[in-house]
Amino acid sequence: MEINSEGVDPVVISVEGEVDLATSPRLAQALDSALGADATTTIRVDLSKVEFMDSAGLRVLVAARRRAEEAGVGLVLHEPHDRVRRIIEITGLTGVFGLA
């Protein structure tokens, strides 16, 4: 998995590859760093190049969404790959992430 983070507001976190039990801690760390930035009001997580995500990756995203809401920061999933979108739909999280 590759993660690139750029920008100040919005912070864009581009993820590529597979997000699973082994790689999800790196995504969590990138999201924590973005949430810790002072001037950030929005975090955009680009999932267009993520072809696989398991429950560990979903847990990271849900936890980050919760922390973002508490901090008054918007967290947006940008163009999730069709396979990832399907997993989000199956788990009933489309409303949580505004992907309806």
β pairing state of 74-78 and 11-19: unpaired
Instruction: Convert the pLDDT of each residue in 25-59 to its tens digit.
Output: 999 999 999 998 888 899 999 999 999 999 999 99
Contact 34, 66 (CB under 8 A): no
Please tell me the pTM assigned to this model: 0.91
What is the domain partition of the chain in residue ranges? 2-97
Listed in sequence order, the residues at least 6 apart from 14 whose beta carbon sits closer than 8 Å to its beta carbon are 2, 3, 4, 5, 6, 46, 49
β pairing state of 11-19 and 2-6: antiparallel
* Residue 100 pLDDT class (50, 70, 90 cuts): low
CATH topology of domain 2-97: Transcription Regulator spoIIAA (3.30.750)
